[in-house]
Amino acid sequence: MSQISIKGVKKSYLKTPVIHGVDVEIEAGEFVVILGPSGCGKSTLLRMIAGLEDITAGEIAIGGKVVNQLEPRERGCAMVFQNYALYPHMTVRQNIGYSLKVAKVPRVERDARVMKVAQSVSLETFLDRRPGELSGGQRQRVAMARAMVREPKVFLFDEPFSNLDAKLRVAMRAEVRRLHRDLGVTSVFVTHDQTEAMTLADKLIIMNAGNVEQIGKPTEVYNNPASRFVADFIGSPAMNLFEGEFDADGHFVHGQGGKMNVSQLNGVRQPGKKVVLGVRPESVRRTHAETHGAIAAVVDYVEELGASRLIHADANGSRIVALDTDTAEIKSGTRVHLSLEADALHLFSVENGRRIAH
Amino acid sequence: MIERSPVFDFLTYLAMAIGAFLVVIPFWITLVAGSQSLQEVSQVPISLMPSSHLWENLSAAWARADLGPKMLNSLIVAVGVTVGKITLASLSAFAIVFFNFRGRMISFWLIFITLMLPLEVRIVPTYAIAANALLPFQVILDTLGISWLVNAVSGIQVTLNWNLLNSYTGLILPLVATATGTFLYRQFFMTIPDELVEASKMDGARPIEFFFDVLLPLSRTNMLALATIMFVSSWNQYLWPLLITTDRANFGTVVMQLKALIPAQNGTPDWNVTMAGALIIMLPPLLVVAFMQRWFVRGLISRDK
Ligand SMILES: Nc1ncnc2c1ncn2[C@@H]1O[C@H](COP(=O)(O)OP(=O)(O)OP(=O)(O)O)[C@@H](O)[C@H]1O
Ligand SMILES: [Mg+2]
């Protein structure tokens, strides 16, 4: 039995639908990340699990019990908020211990539990400070300790690190991973940062405009994006996507008559059918003119990344980006030849954006 | 906007000095007159230098206006009204801001509209209610014919009566409702971030726990500022106590006693005693303001987070 079961959940504000029907099963102990662009409904979905938002239609069950009508306090979830949401007038100790105080846990036990949790996030020396006297990273740790102290069935995180600087974010990410490993509590984590999502998730839920686009392991989502949206959204630099069609010889025609030899896609080459062809920059190699199926392109500009670089080039009117590890210098305007790695091509329908199996 | 130039500085200080002078001068005259003897105070022109009879004038005023018990009455009323106002205002603002019930906006506007109906305007109906606080229910029963029915069936005449005249309840209750206070609280509560409300929900706090553990501590400075204003204004109430207390000896307040201190038409013109009495009467609000002014300014101007 899964820990959280979301069935046909919809949400409308007044008459505006913002979530159009989500079905997700989350297993006990799993770390699930909901990823999607701003405004796609991630927070709304999370808040419906938490009980902070009414569920317009569908059903959410936690631990086998339908919680649609339950108050947040009856659902056994703890939440970490984006802006920490610490009580400004309470000390760190009181902040962490507030849920226990409300639950009438005796003082001695409360203090012991607060201490234990504070130690696990290295806050024991800050217990008597107020949130205003802490740095952003410390506040975030207080927020996490506050969630942990209740020993909830489920942790919910709503973009908890988006106010932290890049370095701290990486450190907090590692901390969350460690805590999850130690405590094994089912966690749902909302973010729009894909690196965060990829590194944290056991299971990734990609959302777009109120719909779930794909659910899967991070590698699965990366290697087999289920839709054009996911292909475009996941991966940095973004996947090259070409709109075009197959000609009678089985070549893929794109841009202003550019042709690609894509014999890999043997099974699905219907002449005249409009499709979107996708290939990740790291699967685009520089090669020689003689190579079979090489695409001629003119270098637009080069982005140095240190160990590698991104070549932005124009191939018959289509923009193509290649990740290049060669050290030889290339100037813009140079003519290069690129080849697409076999097995690295993705095909999507133009009409609905879904993946076309091949 | 901060402007810095000698001329501008000078003008600013001049304006402030004139303002301070205008505010202080009546107090000074009261103090001076209160410290003079009958001969000194009757001189024309009046001397603006204090004299040495302050203590005897204070004692005379204290005795003449029976200020001891009256002070206590005033204190009870002012504290009662202040506490009542703050309790009522914070609770009603809590309901209006944090609960999504039907008629919430209507409730707010109903409260807000009473800003236009100060006590002076509604004094006659308020008095009628104070004379019999159950009158509205009596009217309802009469109109619905229930009293007639009860009378016809059991022969009992239904007369509800709860007289508030000459009681602390009567002095306090009608002054407790405050649109200003509710409005101030509402404005403050609306600055509380939603996340804080949600965090407390997730922590398992019920609304009333959220109110006491989070809202009240956060609104402490606002509350003290409001308390100061309310204390001073209820201490200074004149019309309502005058109307509702016929038993002056037991329920009179000090502000009503000011009248008793004014020299009679053909009596000794001992304005020095009157002024000394005024000094005593204005002392408590002055002390409260002096004591609270740090909070007062903070609560009304900035927000200490
Ligand atoms: N209280 C509300 N009333 C009306 N519409 C709302 C309300 N809250 C959210 N929405 C709408 O619902 C949609 C989803 O919002 P949501 O906050 O879930 O987005 P999100 O995916 O969390 O975005 P972000 O990454 O920016 O936080 C948005 O289009 C938003 O405008
Ligand atoms: Mg959000």
What is the DSSP secondary-structure string of A216-232? Answer: E-HHHHHHS-SBHHHHH
Q: B192 in contact with A at a CB cutoff of 8 Å? A: no
Average pLDDT, chain A: 88
pLDDT at residue B19, rounded to an integer: 95
Task: Identify the band that residue A316 occupies on the pLDDT scale cut at 50, 70 and 90.
Answer: confident
- The rounded Cα A114 to chain-centroid distance in angstroms is 32
Q: Pseudo-torsion of CA B244, B247, B250, B251, nearest 10°?
A: 10
For the segment B90-115, the average pLDDT, to the nearest whole number, is 90
DSSP H helices, chain A, are: 42-50, 92-102, 107-120, 136-148, 166-183, 194-200, 218-223, 228-233
pLDDT of A137 higher than 50? yes
Contact assessment for residue B215 and residue B189, using Cβ atoms and an 8 Å cutoff: yes
Does A73 contact B217 at a Cβ distance shorter than 8 Å? no
Q: Indicate if ligand 1 lies below 6 Å from the C-beta of A240.
A: no
Least confident of A110-124, A237-251, B58-72, B291-305: B291-305
Task: Identify the band that residue B304 occupies on the pLDDT scale cut at 50, 70 and 90.
Answer: very low
The Cα of B224 is separated from the nearest Cα of chain A by a number of Å equal to 16
Does B198 contact A102 at a Cβ distance shorter than 8 Å? no
Task: Identify the band that residue B92 occupies on the pLDDT scale cut at 50, 70 and 90.
Answer: very high
pLDDT at residue A263, rounded to an integer: 67
Task: Identify the band that residue A156 occupies on the pLDDT scale cut at 50, 70 and 90.
Answer: very high
Q: B208 in contact with A at a CB cutoff of 8 Å? A: no
Partnered with residue A329 across adjacent β-strands are none
Q: How far apart are CA A219 and CA B47, in angstroms?
A: 95
Q: How far apart are CA B101 and CA A97, in angstroms?
A: 31
Domain ranges of chain B: 65-122+165-261, 131-164
Nearest alpha carbon, ligand 1 atom 22: A43
pLDDT of B257 higher than 70? yes
Q: Indicate if ligand 1 lies below 6 Å from the C-beta of A283.
A: no
The residue ranking higher by pLDDT, A23 or A250, is A23
pLDDT of B205 higher than 70? yes
b/e A220-246 (16+ beta carbons within 10 angstroms → b):
ebbeebbbbbbbbbbbeeebbbbebbb
Class of domain B65-122+165-261: mainly alpha
Nearest alpha carbon, ligand 1 atom 18: A41
Reading phi first (left if > 0) and then psi (alpha if -120 to 50, else beta), residue A210 is in left
Which ligand has its closest atom nearest to the C-alpha of A34? 1
Q: Indicate if ligand 1 lies below 6 Å from the C-beta of A38.
A: yes
Beta strands in chain A (DSSP E): 4-13, 16-26, 31-35, 57-62, 65-66, 77-80, 154-158, 186-191, 203-208, 211-216, 240-246, 251-254, 258-261, 274-279, 284-287, 295-304, 309-315, 318-324, 335-340, 345-349
pLDDT at residue A98, rounded to an integer: 94
Please give the share of chain A, as a percent, with pLDDT higher than 90: 44
Q: What ligand 1 atom has the least distance to the C-alpha of A11?
A: 12
Does B199 contact A79 at a Cβ distance shorter than 8 Å? yes
Residue of chain B minimizing CA distance to A130:
B305
Among candidates A71, A81, A101 on the partner chain, residue whose Cβ is nearest the Cβ of B199? A81
Residues whose CB falls within 8 Å of the CB of residue A284, separated by 6 or more in sequence, listed in order: A240, A320, A321, A322, A323, A338, A339, A340, A341
Q: How far apart are CA A65 and CA B224, in angstroms?
A: 47
Gap from CA of A44 to ligand 1 centroid (Å): 6
Chain A CB contacts of B203 below 8 Å? 73, 98-99, 102, 146, 150
Task: Identify the band that residue A204 occupies on the pLDDT scale cut at 50, 70 and 90.
Answer: very high
pLDDT at residue B3, rounded to an integer: 66
Please give the share of chain A, as a percent, with pLDDT higher than 70: 98
Q: A82 in contact with B at a CB cutoff of 8 Å? A: yes
Cα angle B11, B16, B19 (rounded to 5 degrees) comes to 125
Q: How far apart are CA A357 and CA A224, in angstroms?
A: 10
pLDDT at residue B300, rounded to an integer: 60
Nearest alpha carbon, ligand 1 atom 5: A13
The ipTM assigned to this model is 0.82
For the segment A45-59, the average pLDDT, to the nearest whole number, is 92
For the segment A10-26, the average pLDDT, to the nearest whole number, is 91
pLDDT at residue A296, rounded to an integer: 84
Q: Indicate if ligand 1 lies below 6 Å from the C-beta of A339.
A: no
Q: B247 in contact with A at a CB cutoff of 8 Å? A: no
A61-84 confidence digits (pLDDT tens)? 998 889 999 999 889 899 999 888
Residue whose pair of structure tokens reads 């402007």 in the numeric block = B3
CB pairs under 8 A between A and B: 66
Least confident of A60-64, A148-152, A322-326: A322-326
pLDDT at residue A107, rounded to an integer: 92
pLDDT of B305 higher than 50? no
The Cα of B227 is separated from the nearest Cα of chain A by a number of Å equal to 21
Q: Indicate if ligand 1 lies below 6 Å from the C-beta of A87.
A: no
The Cα of A72 is separated from the nearest Cα of chain B by a number of Å equal to 6
Does B218 contact A98 at a Cβ distance shorter than 8 Å? no
Q: Indicate if ligand 1 lies below 6 Å from the C-beta of A97.
A: no
A94 C-beta neighbours (distance < 10 Å), count? 17
Q: B214 in contact with A at a CB cutoff of 8 Å? A: yes
Contact assessment for residue A147 and residue A189, using Cβ atoms and an 8 Å cutoff: no
Does A99 contact B213 at a Cβ distance shorter than 8 Å? no
Residue whose pair of structure tokens reads 């800003």 in the numeric block = B115
Gap from CA of A75 to ligand 1 centroid (Å): 23
For the segment A159-171, the average pLDDT, to the nearest whole number, is 86
The structure's pTM equals 0.81
Whole-number Cα distances in Å, A71 to A80, B95, B195: 17, 19, 16
pLDDT at residue B1, rounded to an integer: 58
Q: How many CA atoms lie within 13 A of B89 on its CB side?
A: 29
Residue of chain A minimizing CA distance to B212:
A102
Closest CA to A45 of A184, A215, A185, A188: A188
Residue whose pair of structure tokens reads 């919680």 in the numeric block = A67
Among candidates A50, A81, A103 on the partner chain, residue whose Cβ is nearest the Cβ of B204? A103
Does B196 contact A87 at a Cβ distance shorter than 8 Å? yes
